[in-house]
Amino acid sequence: MTYDEFKQAWSRALHDSGLPHVGAREGKETLDLRSMDRTFESYVEPLGGQDAGPFHVAATLSWRWDSFLTARTATTEEDMLSELIGREKAHEVQTEPSWLRVDVKLHASLLHGKPIPMPAPSVWAKWTREVRGRLEKFEPLVPEEGVREGRDGRLEILAWQEEPVAKVVCGAGGELKLQQIKLSAGQVIELPRRWDDSAREADEHPARQLQELFERLRPALHAWMEVMDHLVPLRASE
């Protein structure tokens, strides 16, 4: 699967999710002229609009297509192996599908210059437990299978989710105020190989994996927006 083919599958899955995206396009492409790596980033908002004032809630999804992946997908697996180790040995080597890492970041930001008082440790701990409960049990952000054993017996990390991280600013009087909250997660997408031999069983197209990713993101982003209500009352003490 080439870069353009995957980007097309990504755009189709994003469109089918119904999540509103920011900007005229469904993503921003960036090309690193030194490494020739390409990065694609999509920025989406909750389905149905914002309902977490004074927070603005959104999610950023991004993936990086490196130059090695471009070189591998420019031709078939047989030709790639022949170039690397010679045609005589190429038929003896078994390959694995490539992995593409998709990073997902949930944001909840306050207007610039309008931070709220930082919650007490007990309040933050209670809020964090609720966030984890919602995004791990009820509206999971990542696939249930986060780890599996590979062919060589080593563990393969398929998905991950980190703790919420707060961006805090210090007021003129030394008080700490909350400006932004982020939660990072991600998963890997398996990419199908291209074969000269049409008799080989084809690898699965990533359409299903992408569809499931956005199906999880839709309720997870809404849950992320809902839990912000527990921090909103702090405005009264600002």
- 158-175 residue pLDDT tens: 999 999 999 999 888 888
Closest CA to 181 of 124, 233, 101: 124
The band of 24, judged by pLDDT with boundaries at 50, 70 and 90, is low
pLDDT over threshold 50, residue 237:
no
The tokens 């490196």 sit on which residue? 66
Helix, strand, or coil (residue 141) = coil
Stronger pLDDT, 234 or 102, i.e. the higher one? 102
Distance set, CA 35 to CA 6, 69, 100, 182, 188 (Å): 20, 12, 17, 29, 22
| Residue 119, amino acid | P
Give the integer Cα–Cα distance in Å for 116 and 109: 11
Confidence of residue 234 (pLDDT cuts 50, 70, 90): very low
Specify whether the CB–CB gap between 63 and 48 falls below 8 A: no
Mean pLDDT (the chain) is 88
Asked whether residue 91 carries a pLDDT value surpassing 90, the answer given is no
The model's pLDDT over 62-74, given as tens digits with 9 standing for 90+, comes to 999 999 899 888 8
Greater confidence, 157 or 86?
Answer: 157
Q: If we measure between CA atoms, which residue out of 18, 14, 15 comes closest to residue 222?
A: 18
Report which of residues 116 and 86 the model is more confident about. 116
| Higher-pLDDT residue of 135, 171 | 135
Average pLDDT estimate for 66-90: 81
Annotate 26-77 with three-state secondary structure. Answer: CCEEEECCCCCCEEEEEEECCCCCCCCCCCEEEEEEEEEECHHHHHHHCCCH
Residue 79, CA distances (Å) to 12, 68, 71, 87 in order: 30, 15, 11, 8
Whole-number pLDDT of residue 160: 95
pLDDT score of 102 = 97
Tens digits of residue pLDDT in 117-126: 888 888 899 9
Q: What percent of the chain has pLDDT over 70?
A: 95
Domain boundaries, given as residue ranges, for the chain: 3-237
| Rounded Cα–Cα distance for residues 173 and 84 (Å) | 63
Task: Give the pLDDT score at 236.
Answer: 39
Partners of 161 in the β-ladder: 185
Give Cα separations from 44 to 110, 216, 217 (angstroms).
17, 14, 10
pLDDT at residue 213 greater than cutoff 70:
yes
What pLDDT, on the 0 to 100 scale, is given for residue 52? 86
